[in-house]
Amino acid sequence: MHQMTLAEIARGLADKKFSSEELTKTLLARIAQLDPQLNSFITLTEDLALEQAKAADARRADGETGALLGAPIGHKDLFCTLGVRTSCGSKMLDNFKAPYDATVVSKLAAAGAVSLGKTNMDEFAMGSANESSYYGAVKNPWNLEHVPGGSSGGSAAAVAARLLPAATGTDTGGSIRQPAALTNLTGLKPTYGRVSRWGMIAYASSLDQGGPLARTAEDCAILLQGMAGFDPQDSTSIDEPVPDFSASLNASLQGLRIGVPKEFFSEGLDPRIAELVHTSIKELEKLGAVIKPISLPNMQHAIPAYYVIAPAEASSNLSRFDGVRFGHRCEDPKDLTDLYKRSRAEGFGPEVQRRILVGAYALSAGYYDAYYLQAQKIRRLIKNDFMAAFNEVDIILGPTTPNPAWKIGAKNSDPVSAYLEDVYTITANLAGLPGLSMPAGFVDGLPVGVQLLAPYFQEGRLLNVAHQYQLNTDWHTRSPAGF
Ligand code: GLN
């Protein structure tokens, strides 16, 4: 049962082969048995899940249909869940029970999805290895000594290990696509503004975007359908019609122009990954796509620009955690300053503190022009590069990450080497574009992802290309030994 995709689950539930309650119980038992090896959940909500599953079964018995009605999922632990701990992977929010549901959570619940729990993540979504969580590192089911990627590493590990068919994630600089690549999943970061950020704890507000992690493009289409849409509660939500993402999956790729940027094959790329990317290009050519070499000349500035903008926004967003209104409060504060200082020093881990320091520095008088303003200018140049490229091509293709999953702890002493792993993913966030990672092979037994980028609001095109690729390859069907 646990091997089924969301699409198969939807068919099975519609044909009354099993109930949502049975499926939910099977997966909860599997989580209890296997998750101690992975640490992919922070909080399990068994009672709520069984309640939602029974309600979904009753709705189906009443004749209601819907691909998500009765489908088990998990939520990254930065989506607020009413009455359930929403920790953001931080000691700061270990005691925080959200007083409301995030829009993504309430929309998926209304569609009948069953939430089994809250998945582990890098603290405040800062990281690409899921090692900065207050609740401990998450293990990659493909090799338990390796990281699953981050920051949505708990969602990725749980789906890859078949503890869940799909889960929500968020992507500020790659946190859906990168863990998808490192665990053999399909993950989609939608266009900025496509999915509501209301109730999604903010890291860097101009970059953060929620999206689906699943095994197939077909399943990402189903989950995204339930998440996307205009939300008046989020001032950056965009009032654009949401197409039927499943309807375009079968469009032909004949004549599709795929741009391959030379900058995506930079020095730091593992040559074995480069080879797998070229193999996937050949596969898409066989399906009728036409390949065009392109250039994104400002890509080399993306990491420095991102690591100014993201920490700058984080330093401002995280100022609300002051020990006064919610979250961790230190014992016996002497005065208000002591309360702020100790609550924040005790509540935030080292990576979060580092980013707050960097961000506050970049925004301070005298440095603002030199760092923050420059970074914003580079951001515009990167967007312009994409706009020029999309005049020539329909889609851009390259590797998702320069390396496969590294060993837990291997990059701990050198944060910059971890920052460099985001080199291919962060440009889409800086430009606000949609991007997808799909399984494309293995290196040393560890999964490798290929990334597709599309113009604004063309998530359907990404899902279409990935689905056609998946109809003709079987990488996405491989499951890790032991799971
Ligand atoms: N690794 C990047 C960072 O630490 C991206 C994280 C994310 O997308 N949330 O900022």
Domain holding 447: CATH number?
A: 3.90.1300.10
Mark 150-161 as b/e (b = at least 16 C-beta within 10 Å): bbbbbbbbbbbb
Active site residue 151: yes
211 lines ligand 1 (CB under 6 A): no
pLDDT at res. 412:
85
Q: With beta carbons less than 8 A apart as the criterion, state whether 212 and 169 touch.
A: yes
Within 8 A by CB and 6+ apart from 202, the residues are 208, 313, 317
pLDDT at res. 15:
97
21 lines ligand 1 (CB under 6 A): no
d(CA 38, CA 162): 12
Helix or strand or coil: residue 417?
A: helix
Phi and psi, residue 451, nearest 5°: -105, 140
Q: Is 222 left (phi over 0), alpha (psi -120 to 50) or beta?
A: alpha
Beta strands in 28-71 (DSSP E): 41-44
List, for the chain, all residue ranges whose pLDDT scores fall below the cut of 70: none
- Domain extent, residue 77, equals 1-483
The residue assigned the tokens 């979250």 is 327
Within 8 A by CB and 6+ apart from 225, the residues are 67, 68, 242, 244, 245, 246
d(CA 179, CA 449): 9
Q: How far is the CA of 215 from the centre of ligand 1 (A)?
A: 22
Query: Ligand 1: which of 77, 120, 123, 128 to mutate, judged by most atoms within 8 Å of the beta carbon?
Result: 128
310 lines ligand 1 (CB under 6 A): yes
Cis peptide before 151 (omega within 30 of 0): yes
**Nearest residue (CA) to ligand 1, atom 5:** 173
Which of 40, 106, 175, 280 is flagged as catalytic? 175
N-to-C CA span, the chain: 13
**Nearest atom within ligand 1 for CA of residue 306:** 10
Active site residue 280: no
**Nearest atom within ligand 1 for CA of residue 310:** 10
3-state helix, strand, coil in the chain (%, to 5): 45, 15, 40
pLDDT at res. 414:
86
Neighbours of 432 (CB within 10 A): 21
pLDDT at res. 416:
86
d(CA 329, CA 332): 9
d(CA 233, CA 149): 31
Residues forming a β-bridge with 260: 293
The encoded tokens of residue 290 equal 């036409």
How far lies 293's CA from each of 258, 270, 283, 393, 433, in Å? 8, 20, 17, 10, 20
Helix or strand or coil: residue 53?
A: helix
Beta strands in 29-105 (DSSP E): 41-44, 72-76
Q: Which one, of 125, 81, 42, lies nearest residue 317 by Cα?
A: 125
Neighbours of 345 (CB within 10 A): 10
The residue assigned the tokens 């309807």 is 247
For the chain, how many structural domains are there in total? 1
Active site residue 175: yes
Model-level pTM?
Answer: 0.98
**Nearest atom within ligand 1 for CA of residue 128:** 1
